[in-house]
């Protein structure tokens, strides 16, 4: 069974293994080693960064899903041919959470 913890561990392994510096470099977008270390201490990625993690993992052949990384959010997808996941670009559905 896939849990947020196992999905997070798979994502970190795909992006650089035990090296927070390698994960930060793989992610880019201003992510630092310290940020990755914080995520590792918490055992999860903040939902704001989950799409970036998903995209970088898919680019490396690891099929990570934001809905499994951050199951506490309601995710929707929009078609986007540039997005590596063929299901489309993930977006948080804040409207459904407000109901």
**Mind listing the pLDDT tens digit for each residue in 13-43?**
999 988 999 999 999 999 999 999 999 999 9
Does residue 81 carry a pLDDT above 90?
A: yes
Q: What is the pLDDT of residue 64?
A: 96
Read off the pTM.
Answer: 0.92
Does residue 97 carry a pLDDT above 80?
A: no
Q: What is the pLDDT of residue 38?
A: 97
Angle at the Cα of 52 from the Cα atoms of 51 and 57, rounded to 5 degrees = 100
81 Cβ contact partners less than 8 Å away, ≥ 6 residues apart: none
Beta-carbon count within 10 A of 76 CB = 13
Q: What is the pLDDT of residue 99?
A: 62
């Amino acid at each position: 069974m896939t849990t947020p913890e196992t999905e997070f561990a798979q994502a970190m392994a795909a992006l650089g293994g035990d090296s927070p510096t390698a994960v930060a470099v793989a992610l880019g977008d201003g992510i630092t080693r310290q940020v990755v270390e914080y995520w590792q201490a918490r055992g999860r990625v903040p939902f704001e960064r989950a799409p970036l993690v998903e995209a970088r993992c898919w680019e490396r052949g690891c099929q990570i899903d934001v809905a499994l990384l951050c199951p506490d959010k309601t995710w929707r997808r929009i078609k986007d041919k540039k997005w590596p996941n063929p299901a489309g670009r993930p977006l948080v559905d804040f409207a459904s959470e407000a109901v």
